[in-house]
Amino acid sequence: MGGALVKRWGAATAVEGNVLPRHFSVVDRSPAVKTGEAPLLPPRFGFHESLQSFLTSAETLPPVDALLLAVRPKQILPALASVVDSCAALLSERAAIMSLAAGLPLARLRASLPDAHPLFRVMPSIPVAIGEGILLISGEQPLDRKASEAVRELFAPMGSSVFCSEDLLEKGTGLWGSAPGYIFHMLEAFEAAACALGYDREQARLLSFQTLKGVGLFAEKERHERNATPQELTQSIALEGGTTEAGLTVLADKEKGLVALMKQTSVSAYRRAQQMAQETDKP
């Protein structure tokens, strides 16, 4: 996910008039993201294979105004401690610190960060890579308004941001953060259903992908032009006595239908997020 964000920032910084920071520094040990070896980092981005490399170059850079930690949950606390120990002097007085780690609450992050830097958790979805994602953002209360606006502005090129309570961020991680995976699986389901009806695999795949694309664009247009709700969109297609209505009798079943399945899916994912938080305590 960190790579998807960096890729999008790279594209956004090329747009004239953007208000993004003048310089980005990326610390990543992965050789695939080196400048010149992959289309991930534009020339204005500084790439570093270690914190020591960054510290050496930082002598010529302005203070760090925002720090994003995009590592696995089990790695986040050691990474934060390492950054604080090594880079504390490089952070501006009110530099915002952000974590992408699922299942690791703000209180535990703050315990490793005993100073006054505003602290946030961010949950993005993979379409941020093309500027069409969503981000759930949660900060410590009372929310630092200036820092919150800076964070919102930083993530503006990614899509739509929603500030929410940490509880909703935790619950939403398994719904909105994982939603692309669920929708990709729905594509598989459409493809399988089409093949069962007699379409060949190539035809089924083309029709599935184009249907998802077209419906998404149409729904967004209807939402903006007439504030259409999902229910209204469904009813506009499901004419009485028609084929859509017949199919929806299965999908709309209160116990086994799609709404019930999505509720079960989000609860299962949330429970996993809670387990991940507990696993960070284990060696």
- Give the model's confidence band at 114: pLDDT under 50 very low, under 70 low, under 90 confident, else very high: low
**Residue indicated by tokens 């695939």:** 32
Cis peptide before 142 (omega within 30 of 0): yes
- Give the model's confidence band at 280: pLDDT under 50 very low, under 70 low, under 90 confident, else very high: low
Which of helix, strand or coil describes residue 40? coil
Report the pLDDT value the prediction gives residue 38, as an integer from 0 to 100: 45
Taking residues 120-138, report their average pLDDT: 93
Over the stretch 61-84, which tens digit does the pLDDT of each residue have?
Answer: 778 888 898 887 777 788 888 777
What is the C-alpha to C-alpha distance for residues 267 and 172, in angstroms, rounded to an integer?
A: 10
pLDDT of residue 13 exceeding 70, the answer is yes
Query: Which CATH code fits 2-174?
Result: 3.40.50.720
Report the pLDDT value the prediction gives residue 5, as an integer from 0 to 100: 87
Report the pLDDT value the prediction gives residue 139, as an integer from 0 to 100: 94
What is the C-alpha to C-alpha distance for residues 259 and 252, in angstroms, rounded to an integer?
A: 7
Taking residues 8-36, report their average pLDDT: 72
At position 22, the amino acid (one-letter code) is R
Report the pLDDT value the prediction gives residue 246, as an integer from 0 to 100: 94
At position 110, the amino acid (one-letter code) is R
Residues with Cβ within 8 Å of residue 204, at least 6 apart in sequence: 190, 191, 192, 194, 195
- Which of 17-31, 138-152, 208-222 has the highest average model confidence (pLDDT)? 208-222
Report residue 100 as tokens: 């992408």
Longest CA–CA separation in the chain, Å:
72
Report the pLDDT value the prediction gives residue 36, as an integer from 0 to 100: 44
CATH topology agreement for domains 2-174 and 179-279 = no
Taking residues 206-217, report their average pLDDT: 96
Which of helix, strand or coil describes residue 113? coil
- Helix and strand totals (H; E) in the chain: 11, 7
CATH of 179-279, one of 3.40.630.10, 1.10.3730.10, 1.10.1200.10, 2.60.120.10: 1.10.3730.10
Over the stretch 224-260, which tens digit does the pLDDT of each residue have?
Answer: 999 999 999 999 999 889 999 999 999 999 999 999 9
Taking residues 209-226, report their average pLDDT: 96
Q: Which of 23, 36, 28, 24 is nearest to 3 (CA)?
A: 28
Report the pLDDT value the prediction gives residue 95, as an integer from 0 to 100: 86
Q: Which of 33, 83, 32, 29 is nearest to 58 (CA)?
A: 83
Whether the model pTM is above 0.75 = yes
At position 48, the amino acid (one-letter code) is H
What is the C-alpha to C-alpha distance for residues 71 and 77, in angstroms, rounded to an integer?
A: 10
How do the domains of the chain map onto residue ranges? 2-174, 179-279
Taking residues 30-59, report their average pLDDT: 65
Instruction: Count CB-CB contacts under 10 A for residue 208.
Output: 20
Mean pLDDT of the chain: 86
Express as a percent the part of the chain with pLDDT over 70. 91
Q: Are 51 and 43 in contact (CB under 8 A)?
A: no
What is the C-alpha to C-alpha distance for residues 38 and 238, in angstroms, rounded to an integer?
A: 47
What is the C-alpha to C-alpha distance for residues 223 and 86, in angstroms, rounded to an integer?
A: 48
Over the stretch 158-199, which tens digit does the pLDDT of each residue have?
Answer: 999 999 999 999 899 889 989 999 999 999 999 999 999 999
